[in-house]
Amino acid sequence: MRKIIFTLLVVMMVFTLGIMESFAQEETVFSGNLRMGYKKLYNDAAEEWMDDGLSLHFLELWVRKQVGDFGIFVNQRIGDANNNYLWEGQIYYNIPNSLGKLNIGLVRVPFGIYANGLYYPKGILYDKNWMWDRDYGITYEGKFQLSDTLGIDAAAGFLTNQNGSGELGAFTVEHPDCAPCTGENNNISGRVGADITMEDALALKVGGSVQTGKLMREDAEDDTKLGIAGDVTVDLNMLPVPVSVWGEFVNYSLADIDAAKGNILGAQLNITSPAGMEIGPIGKMILSLHLSQDMPKDDALSSKTALIGQLRLIMHKNFNIFAQVFGNSVEGADGLLDKGVRVWLMYIF
């Protein structure tokens, strides 16, 4: 018996040393970016422009390592005012035979169009936590090419709890019958999409998403969170200037009352400079025009429309400039609210 135990221990030690040696031989990739921000915002209450300012936004550090089919990825943010937190971090496993990928940790929530290429602000879909969301849990991602023109992608996840308390404001409804949200957990989220490519002329992406989970309220029973979305993206590659258009529709319910239900519409136009057209140090330019609208089911609540224009300049040596103008149109209010100008400077290393 002792010989068997000793043999097993030796085998385990050799196996462990083999894994450690493999990790030591594989390269660990360190990268990241440094971001600075300039802002000039309008004070709606005082009806005047506030003082402008330039400050550090984030130092973002990335670490990635993969050995065989297993890997890790960590994205840590270090910001001003001691605003430091983990943005994304997971262990992942590439399933053999190209059957997809499993992620566990702080992962991307599979729902709708995940990212829209805007810096900040990003629009109502982001503000309401239906875009660019990351929570703790496990996700599956898979892409399957059925033919030269058709591909299918699927993603699903179980999320145990939200990433930060700041996200809970998206689920707090200004209504006396809906207490403030104090937590979100046990979300099930998924998306199925189809990619259709018509040679070099046109690329079409369509998808459908569902997300449901629990929202905890102060001194109240948990509410059921439900979101249903459809999205479409069209890339018009036959044009002299590359043009991409996307749209998304989300029907949401955060509680039983009408004040917590509604629809969100989002649309964006992206125009990219032609390949090879460089102007001095500018290698590429992308103009984005964004519109998104939140329409509550309760007629007593006002609808809100977000308007954003962004010009992104991709310079040589990994330097990016994002210049934005933005404002919100609220039903019943005169002019644009929460308007301003922001310029973000990002150096990727």
With the C-alpha atoms ordered 6, 7, 13, 17, is the resulting torsion angle positive or negative? positive
Share of the chain above pLDDT 90, in %: 78
Q: How far is CA 80 from CA 32, 63, 77, 170, 223, in A?
A: 17, 21, 10, 23, 35
Q: Which of the residue ranges 20-34, 111-125, 210-224 has the most confident prediction, judged by mean pLDDT?
A: 111-125
98 SS3 class:
coil
Is residue 67 within 8 Å of 26, Cβ to Cβ?
A: yes
Helix, strand, coil: what percent of the chain each, to 5? 15, 60, 25
CA distance 242 to 200: 11
What burial class does residue 299 get, using C-beta atoms within 10 Å of its C-beta: 0-12 exposed, 13-18 middle, 19+ buried?
A: exposed
Residue 347, pLDDT score:
97
| pLDDT, mean of residues 7-14 | 46
State the pLDDT confidence band at 164, using cuts at 50, 70 and 90: confident
Residue 189, pLDDT score:
98
CA distance 344 to 312: 9
Number of other residues whose CB lies within 10 A of the CB of residue 235: 19
Asked whether the bond before 121 is cis by omega within 30 degrees of 0, the reply is: yes
Residue 7, pLDDT > 70, answer: no
- Buried-exposed string 106-145: b where 16+ CB fall within 10 A, e elsewhere: bbbbbbbbeebebbbbbbbbbbbbbbbbbbbbbbbbeeee
Give the residue among 105, 204, 91, 111 at the shortest CA–CA distance from 154. 111
Residue 10, pLDDT score:
44
- Buried-exposed string 91-105: b where 16+ CB fall within 10 A, e elsewhere: ebeeeeeeebbbbeb
Instruction: List, in order, residues 6 or more apart from 35 with CB less than 8 Å away.
Output: 56, 57, 58, 59, 60, 344, 345, 346
Q: What is the pLDDT of residues 115-153, one digit of tens each?
A: 999 999 999 999 999 999 999 999 999 999 999 999 999
Global pTM? 0.89
| Least confident residue range of 39-48, 91-100, 165-174 | 165-174
Residue 251, pLDDT > 80, answer: yes
State the pLDDT confidence band at 6, using cuts at 50, 70 and 90: very low
| pLDDT, mean of residues 197-206 | 90
State the pLDDT confidence band at 199, using cuts at 50, 70 and 90: confident
CA distance 37 to 344: 4
Q: What is the pLDDT of residues 40-88, one digit of tens each?
A: 999 999 999 999 999 999 999 999 999 999 999 999 999 877 789 999 9
The DSSP string of 274-319 is PTT--BTTEEEEEEEEEEEEEEESSTTSPPEEEEEEEEEEEEGGGE
Structure tokens at 307: 């308007």
State the pLDDT confidence band at 25, using cuts at 50, 70 and 90: low
| pLDDT, mean of residues 201-230 | 94
| pLDDT, mean of residues 227-255 | 96
Q: What is the pLDDT of residues 257-315, one digit of tens each?
A: 999 999 999 999 999 999 888 888 999 999 999 999 999 999 989 999 999 999 999 99
State the pLDDT confidence band at 163, using cuts at 50, 70 and 90: confident
Residue 17, pLDDT score:
45
